Amino acid sequence: MRIATANLRHGGRTSPDNAWQRLLTQASVDVLCAQESRAPLEYFDGTLHGSAVFNAVSDRDWGSAIWSRHHPLEEFCLGAFHGHIIGARAKDVRLGGQSWTVDFVSVHIPEPAPYVRQVARLIDLLAGRPRDALLLLAGDFNITTALRHPTEVLETSADEQTVLTRLRRELGVVNAWQLLHPNHPLPQTLRWTKSPTTPYHCDAIYVDCRALPYLDAAEVLQDSAWSHLTDHNPIVVDLRD
């Protein structure tokens, strides 16, 4: 199962070879968690196979979405985060030769800052969920989403470290990219217009610890095409079935 996350920036493009089409065809993803996305059908001229859920932010034509190629999705409510964060459950997902129920959550942590407080609210909300399903959080968290090495230009603040610890201890999820690249500086996932070369790493796919034996690969897509499609670099994670 190949999972991707991408923030499309205010809905992105709907013309041919848009971000959705590129991820579903060229990157061959099976599950896409999108943020600042329009309704998925708008990127495919009204024809899209698979199952999708989508909620728009109030007074916007974009919001967060989840799409699955093979599994029907059942949306679940995430309260005050409507439009920014959406959840969906998929059943009978094959991982490691077993059948699992998986809760996917597409995350776009909203204003106001400090964003660590908003992430803490999300953790509080998800911590009370039954643990009968694997949890995969994917999206734009607007904070540093992994621990940085002391030699990096940017650092993970003490508040961000607290959030990362809570994600692991209370939700049982870890950053897939860093787990597979433990001795590497965090790659850029956000090309902020005010500082386009600074290696902000605010996007992530957090994988349930129970699925880690099946984690095969994690990659940040940084080819030049993405600079024309969005200000974020998508992340792709592979889980062995």
pLDDT tier, 161 (very low <50, low <70, confident <90, very high otherwise) = very high
Q: Report d(CA 40, CA 57) in Å as an integer.
A: 15
User: Other CB atoms closer than 10 Å to residue 47's CB: what's the count?
Assistant: 6
Q: Mind listing the pLDDT tens digit for each residue in 176-210?
A: 999 999 989 999 999 988 888 899 999 999 999 99
Q: Mind listing the pLDDT tens digit for each residue in 29-59?
A: 999 999 999 999 999 988 899 999 999 999 9
DSSP reduced 3-state for 231: coil
Q: What is the DSSP secondary-structure string of 128-142?
A: TS-TTSEEEEEEE-S
Q: Mind listing the pLDDT tens digit for each residue in 105-136?
A: 999 999 999 999 999 999 999 998 888 999 99
**pTM greater than 0.95 (yes/no):** yes
Q: Report d(CA 201, CA 186) in Å as an integer.
A: 6
Decide which of 3.60.10.10, 3.90.1150.10, 3.10.450.40, 3.40.190.10 is the CATH code for 2-239: 3.60.10.10
Q: Report d(CA 174, CA 216) in Å as an integer.
A: 14
**87: β partners:** 76, 105
Three-state SS for 2-54 is EEEEEEEEEECCCCCCCHHHHHHHHCCCCEEEEEEECCHHHHCCCCCCCEEEE
Picking from 71, 73, 75, 74, the residue whose alpha carbon sits closest to that of residue 86 is 75
With a CB cutoff of 8 Å and minimum separation 6, the contacts of 238 are 1, 2, 3, 215, 216, 217, 218
Picking from 35, 179, 50, the residue whose alpha carbon sits closest to that of residue 108 is 35
In the chain, what are the domain boundaries? 2-239
Radius of gyration of the chain measured on its C-alpha atoms: 16
